[in-house]
Structure 1
């Protein structure tokens, strides 16, 4: 073959290859829109709404999600997902869709409710006094079941395995930590999670590369004095006054000691003392949460909380002990999105809903135990909007008036399914790690 013909032949091969890549790219870009259309089918949407309402009516707290897990397993069986593990991390369910071989990508939903009395009067309000899905975990679980159904319907097209993580105890119980410790994600290359947001419009998606949410911890302090009659304070040592001074001093940790450009939060949310109006109690108990965006700031503020409580209590002639409750509520690390997974996520968000529907957010001071996954494997977390512009502003999570706009369910389900499907198709160009095993 002459040099001229060889050059022409190579050029033709290059153009053909470029054309094939272009076609493949176009097909990939249609996956999110196609899955969203499937998730919006009337029968599919009605199925998801029914599941969400059943979970909402029967809320269970962390590590108590027995009936929720039972529902999840029943729905997985109905859609043909017979390969799952239960129990994992007490009440968790781990399901599998796909080839059963590498690559593995995980999708996570949390299942637990909050110890809160629902104040929203509607047909499907909580049937359990003092318990409520006030953070949208009922919607998250439903979305992951929806994603599982979409993936199962197209299982033959999956180029690997999707690991479905139905996780217990996100609300302080660090269920994600127990899932990681159970070893069920050892082969997983990447994991994705999401959360409903009342601050974003319906169908808007939001996230960012790197630091997304703060690390958080809890504290409880017992401040002891000497009880007595309220009319004779001179014969008592008042722990209520001491605790009040402690709370004032704790607020100065952020306002006077923290760098204004290094966001931190200290909130006292619990104050318990005497039930009587005319008795100075022997002791009071206060408790709250603290948050920071960096491990260094987190450690520093934790140290200062203990110092301030014990020292300030002594000024009022009281004694104080501080418990950070880490055996029951392990501190959450900051949530940090993998730098390579974020552009991948953003491309899917844009393909699904258009560039105008994606919002690059700033770090926020809420926390998520999804961070435990990100310490072990590359992970990405995002927010899905549900505020209807024709509806009054929706209450924030952890409010007894919190509501979920059920129109969000197809968006979350198709987003999760799209992330998994595209990851498996594009995994050779995305972050991964080496594993001993390449199959279940």
Structure 2
């Protein structure tokens, strides 16, 4: 069956490439996916899906929201596009950029396919040997690019949706394709997972294109993704003239500096699989002013959710104690989190069986250890498994010998998108 499905998908290949290049040219960061989400929603409606979007889909607090200025900038850019349905675009205003398309096909299992849409705050390479530059679809949004393949993921999700819209007679049960915002900051899934359409899911599938693996490789499931919590620490002191009246000031930079050193020492109290990083510090206004404010951007990660929470809580205690010692106050804001999760073993096994039979890949791994990053899909994976369902996070090799993930010259082999849609279509139709 798979070979015939794959043949039918060949006509979609060029269209998916066009979509991917459109999304690549106009990248949008977390909660600003206005153009992308609206394009997705109007396509789903055209193909007969029931569409949930905006505040009708986002049912919990959104984390790591950008500034109002950034939201307004990207919304205005989307508003200027002639090819977007302005009524649908209105649903995304303010950063409500999640979209889900639902196909109801009578009795049968509920299957969810997760697709992520957001770009990264990276300037894309402008060198002539960079394929998107040569083919004129490099990012036109300065400071942002699709450097992790989410443009391809969105195109694959649309390819799956278009095919399924013409194959309803082969489907049973309910198919949900979730186009998720804000994956990179680990703040998007938590905002939608409690929606009623995900209350009882039989199977959930996530996937990723991997530019560091060859196009003949397929991973049927992963395990060991790191649980993570990302948070900002705002420290408040008091400004004063550094020479005239230093005693009237409270220096917020002092607790910030001690917190950095103390958290570095904290690592020794935990297993080697933990990660604790202070990635950014902002403090001070001028050399002759006692520093009134400091901002630390921190993340904790661990091989399991329990250790992650212990590390996070220990970090918070240190931060609060040091801040108090220096007579400062602090606000701690959680801006993203992910859980540790593992693909269901029996589901990964069944995926490997039919993927191997397709002949599309020469190397097929049942489950692969992925303990060097975190993934927002894990929140949905755990939710589904905890309510009696199965879930798998898959990967497809997409190397085209360009830069790998989160690099300025990132790019992929676009041919693999059709292969991924073929696999997803088979999973949609399997009993």
TM-score range, shorter chain: 0.7 to 0.9
Whether contact under 8 Å (2:339, 2:379) holds in the other structure is yes
| Matching residue of 2:91 | none
- Aligned equivalent of 2:176: 163
Which of 183, 187, 192 is the aligned partner of 1:174?
Answer: 187
Q: Give 3-state SS (helix, strand or coil) of 1:50's partner.
A: helix
User: Any conservation in 1 of the 2:216–2:363 contact (CA below 8 Å)?
Assistant: no
Partners of 1:69 and 1:237 in 2: how far apart?
Answer: 46
Q: Does 1:65 align with 2:33?
A: yes
**Counterpart Cα distance in 1 of 2:299 and 2:126:** 26
CA separation in 2, counterparts of 1:151 and 1:47? 15
Say which is worse superposed, 111-120 or 338-347, in terms of deviation. 111-120
1:379 matched residue in structure 2: 391
Equivalent of 1:147 in 130, 152, 160: 160
Q: Is the 8 A contact 2:348 2:367 kept in 1?
A: no
Partner of 2:319: 309
Correspondence for 1:300 among 300, 303, 310 = 310
Separation (CA, whole Å) in 1 of partners of 2:288 and 2:6: 62
CA distance in 2, matches of 1:202, 1:357: 11
Contact 2:110–2:173, Cα closer than 8 Å, also in 1? yes
Q: 1:7-406 counterparts in 2 under 5 A?
A: 30-31=1-2, 33-39=3-9, 41=10, 43-78=11-46, 80-87=47-54, 88-89=57-58, 90-97=96-103, 99-120=105-126, 122=133, 123-172=136-185, 174-206=187-219, 208=221, 211-223=223-235, 239-240=252-253, 242-254=255-267, 256-260=268-272, 263-274=273-284, 276=286, 281-312=291-322, 317=326, 319=328, 321-323=330-332, 325-326=333-334, 329-352=335-358, 353-354=360-361, 356-358=363-365, 360-377=367-384, 378-388=390-400, 391-392=401-402, 394-397=403-406, 399-406=407-414
Using the alignment, how far apart are the partners of 1:179 and 1:165 within structure 2? 9
Partner of 2:419: 411
- Taking structure 1 as reference, are residues 231 and 126 closer, same or farther at Cα in structure 2, changes over 3 Å only? farther
Mean alpha-carbon deviation: is it higher for 61-70 or for 43-52? 61-70
Contact 1:35 1:150 in 2 (8 A): no
| CA RMSD between the two structures | 3.1
Q: Which runs of 5+ in 1 are unaligned?
A: 1-29, 426-440
User: Contact between 1:106 and 1:420, CA under 8 Å: does it hold in 2?
Assistant: no
Q: State how far apart, in whole Å, the 1-side matches of 2:399 and 2:12 are.
A: 22
| Separation in structure 2 between the aligned mates of residue 314 and residue 85 of structure 1, nearest angstrom | 46
5+ residue gaps, structure 2: 59-95, 128-132, 385-389
For residues 87-140 of structure 1, give each alpha carbon's deviation from its aligned partner in whole angstroms, at most 9, with x where no partner exists: 422333322346243222121111223344434452222233343333322111
Q: In the superposition, relative to structure 1, how do residues 63 and 234 fare at CA in structure 2: closer, same or farther (>3 Å)?
A: closer
Number of residue pairs aligned between Structure 1 and Structure 2: 378
Which is greater in Rg?
1
- Residue 230 (structure 1) shift: 7.9
TM-score in terms of structure 1 length: 0.75
Structure 2 residue matching 1:174: 3-state secondary structure:
coil
TM-score, L = length of structure 2: 0.77
User: How far did 1:387 drift?
Assistant: 1.3
Q: SS state of the match for residue 112, structure 1?
A: coil
Shift in Å, 1:367:
1.7
- The 1:223–1:159 alpha-carbon spacing in structure 2 relative to 1, beyond 3 Å, is closer
Conservation of the 8 A alpha-carbon contact between 1:147 and 1:413: yes
